[in-house]
Structure 1
Amino acid sequence: MADRGIRRERDGGLVYDNHIPVLKRPPVAQARKKLNLKFIRSGIDKPFLILVLVLLIFGIIMMFSASFAWGLKDENDGYYYAKRQLIFAVIGIAVMTGVSFLDYHFYQNTKICYLFFGASFFLTLYAALFGHSTADASRWIYIGSLSFQPSEILKVAFIIIFAYIMSVNFPKFDDWRYCIIPFTIIMGLVAVVLMLQRHLSAVMIVGLIGISMMFVSGMPKKTFWKFIGACIAAVIVVALFFIVTGSGFTYISERIQSWKNPTSDIRGSTWQTYNSLLAIGSGGWTGLGFGESRQKYLYLPEAQNDFVFSVICEELGFIGAVVVIILFVMFALRGFYIASNAKDRFGMLVAAGITIQIALQAFLNIMVASNSFPNTGISLPFFSYGGTALVIQLAEMGILLNISRQSNIEK
């Protein structure tokens, strides 16, 4: 009898063999993109771009005011920090523009993803072991007169590799080997190298980013809570190790005590927090006026960096502080809007990770400045002085803008 063969029909996402449904190849293969250097020229999300530019311009103006006295002291030029930040902003805008055209699926390539993560990891490790040390923390690499902080690059690489593994392994998330193990290993590696730098604020940020990305990834609840359990167990083991050995991190307890009582040692350990609170309290409702801060005149250390928000409160008052907070809330909401309308799971996770990173840093910085959280040395995105951070942040905005180019958002 002649073989009638198999008649194949397609209906949506299924293939039918003689009316019997057969699943297509698992979507895991679809997540592994070939290296495709493609440029996208469709429209971008204009509200998000406007928000970024407003934060950037506002940030440079307030950083200039906060840094004026320290510029005079350090470089005999009150405009020193502002001029350098402006140069970095121009470079960052150029990078953001270029990255906004580069198809974000370029980062989804296996080689690019792991190479980017590996390079940033070893640069951060090199900085921890051989980099420039300030206040017992080695976080900087100097090349001639230029310097950069590789941990800022590592944050981006961490988000991309997390998003890549989630998009590839998503169909297998019920199996703990494909989610808990790779994510625990990656977070552990990043945490160790950042702890070598004595950069516990970055460890906390990366940990929260990773957990948040796991939460929004669609992972089964049971698997998610297993991952949380693994993270808690790792934290307990590390904490016990440092308690038993008494090595290296005794300053953590000092900062917690300073947080509990900011007036306990105003000429020593609580100097920063005390003067930050003085600056915030002096601003009142409407502030002393732009450029009129008193605490920035060498009373408030790192006024141009970690405590620029305190100067904003002193000069622009409660109203100015609320404006800054609202801008970051709007940034977070629009970033999540781009993520929710992304073309695919990888784009959604990258957009969510970047949004979480910027929003988290912003609100932790504000909490530190107002003594709602122990002093952790977290900078305020777009406002704090720092060339590496600003250029990397604007590059991340370029990635978000490219995701918006390919999303379902009305341009």
Structure 2
Amino acid sequence: MKKRILRPLPGMDLPFLILVLTLVGFGLVMLASASSAVALYRRGDAWAYLRPQLLYAALGLCGMWLASRVDYHIFHKLAWPLLGLSLILLAAVLFMPEYNGCKRWLVIPGFGTLQPSEIAKFAVVLVFSHIIALNHDRMKDFSVGVLPFALVLGVVAALMLLEPHLSGTVLILGIGAVLMFVGGTGLRWFLLAGVGGVGAIGAAVAVMPDLVPYAADRLRSWLDPFADPLGDGHQTIQSLYAIGSGGATGLGLGESRQKHLFVPEPQNDFIFSIVCEELGFVGACAVVGLFVLLLCRGITIAAHAPDRFGALLVVGFVVQVALQAVLNVAVVTNTIPNTGISLPFFSSGGTSLMMLLGEMGVVLGVSRGEM
């Protein structure tokens, strides 16, 4: 009997679904609070950032439901075409106008903006899962377990560094490394990759010298943000003020002071600092706890997946969310240099939210347990 793409299926994993919906709801509430002042100042409308985010959330939830009902094995056929599309978009974005010194968004008339790096993350997980699932018994070999992954990551990373998008590059390299490790790539290749990475950085410096002052400025502002409090260090300083002001239980929802044009991007990369200010240490722990639970539940789903391909998809998508959250929190607390990375489900951004929810739909599809 021929398989239908949409078919009657067992129920999806309810705990994972609840966690996703909780993160989406929590994120929308915090975005409404964090973005109100800057939206009123910049656009004359306090809901200018929340309104489109609500639409994207609705579309994303519909996409999540559809993705949860699609036989995930169809992604075997879509993996390479989607990667090709993402590479074309990553190249096209280099011809777009700069915003804050970067070229990360494609402007689509009548639609808004599209961030190709979000599609690239999705495509990398699909391609890596596809390759590993088909060649899992030969992953110790260089020609199978290293070379194709290195080529894919190399091309994607090079295009993203040209934007420049350091945080996205680090995230995609991290996702790829995790999938390779889980898939069975030999440990010695990771050691050699470390040596190769040093060489790649040297090559990048030689080929793309513009990255040197860009990275150097970020490093200096990380080590001593107060050396340039009105320049590169301004955002980090204001973020730290917000976190410190929150104390144990926060100032109260909607009561942030730093969102009133002190933190430059409270609706985006630094929304976690507003969470800390308004909800305090307790609220910050709640956010971190939700991401930890999402990761743990995702790993449980992967462990019970019907096949290797489904397990790898789940691992790739939940590790992406967890790693991105870790990097964002580390940036906001000045644990690592500012790399411009958003907080999943919380930061403003339609492409990111819809892609995230689509990925969560794939995880829910795998959780149904039917091949």
TM over 0.5: yes
- Of Structure 1 and Structure 2, the greater strand share is in 1
Pick one of 127, 141, 164 that aligns with 2:106. Answer: 141
Counterpart selection for 2:45 from 66, 77, 88: 77
Alignment of structure 1 residues 357-372 onto 2, 5 Å = 357-372=320-335
1:40–1:103 Cα contact (<8 Å) kept: no
| Structure 2 residue 107 is the aligned partner of structure 1 residue 153 | no
Conserved? CA contact 2:145–2:180, under 8 Å: no
Q: Distance in 1 between matches of 2:108 and 2:363?
A: 30
Counterpart for residue 162 of structure 2: 196
Residue 142 of structure 1 aligns to a residue whose secondary structure is strand
Q: Would the alpha carbon gap of residues 159 and 295 (structure 1) be closer, same or farther in structure 2, given more than 3 Å must change?
A: same
Partner of 2:247: 284
Q: Counterpart of 2:67 in 1: which secondary structure?
A: helix
**Equivalent residues in 2 for 1:45-194, closer than 5 Å:** 45-109=13-77, 112-128=78-94, 130-145=95-110, 146-194=112-160
How far the C-alpha of 1:36 sits from its partner, in A, is 7.1
Q: Deviations over 1:124-173 (max 9, x none)?
A: 11112x22421231111112132111110110000000000011111222
Q: Structure 2, unaligned stretches of length 5 or more?
A: none
Question: Whole-Å Cα distance in 2 between the matches of residues 215 and 36 of structure 1?
Answer: 34
- Residue in 2 aligned with 1:44? 12
Higher helix share: 2
**How far off is 1:39 after superposition?**
3.5
8 Å Cα contact 1:184/1:230 also seen in 2: no
Moved more, 398-407 or 173-182: 173-182
2:310 equivalent to 1:347:
yes
- Alignment check: 8 A CA contact 1:69 1:297 kept: yes
Distance in 2 between residues matched to 1:295 and 1:65, nearest whole Å: 12
Q: Structure 1: which amino acid aligns with 2:74?
A: F
Whether 1:215 and 2:181 are equivalent positions in the alignment is yes
- 2:58 maps to amino acid: V
Counterpart pick for 1:238 among 190, 193, 200 = 200
User: Taking structure 2 as the reference length, what is the TM-score of the superposition?
Assistant: 0.95
2:292 maps to what in 1?
A: 329
Tell me the distance in 1 between the aligned counterparts of 2:103 and 2:298.
32
* TM-aligned CA deviation for residue 407 of structure 1: 6.3
Q: Which whole-Å CA distance do the structure 1 matches of 2:321 and 2:293 have between them?
A: 12
* SS of structure 2 residue aligned to 1:258: helix
1:302 aligned residue = 265
Could you tell me whether the CA contact under 8 Å between 2:86 and 2:120 is conserved in 1? yes
**Conserved 8 A contact 2:247-2:277:** yes
| 1:384 counterpart residue number | 347
Q: RMSD over aligned Cα, in angstroms?
A: 1.7
CA contact (8 A) 1:214 1:224 kept: no
Local SS of the residue matching 1:263: helix
Q: What letter corresponds to residue 200 of structure 1 in structure 2?
A: L
What's the CA shift for 1:35? 9.8
User: Aligned equivalents of 1:197 and 1:184: distance in 2?
Assistant: 20
Q: Secondary structure at the match of 1:285?
A: coil
Q: 1:50 to 1:77 in 2, by over 3 A?
A: same
How much has 1:263 moved relative to structure 2? 1.6
* Distance in 1 of aligned mates of 2:224 and 2:81: 46
- Cα distance, 1:287 vs. partner? 0.6
Sequence identity percentage: 42
More divergent stretch after superposition (272-281 vs 242-251): 242-251
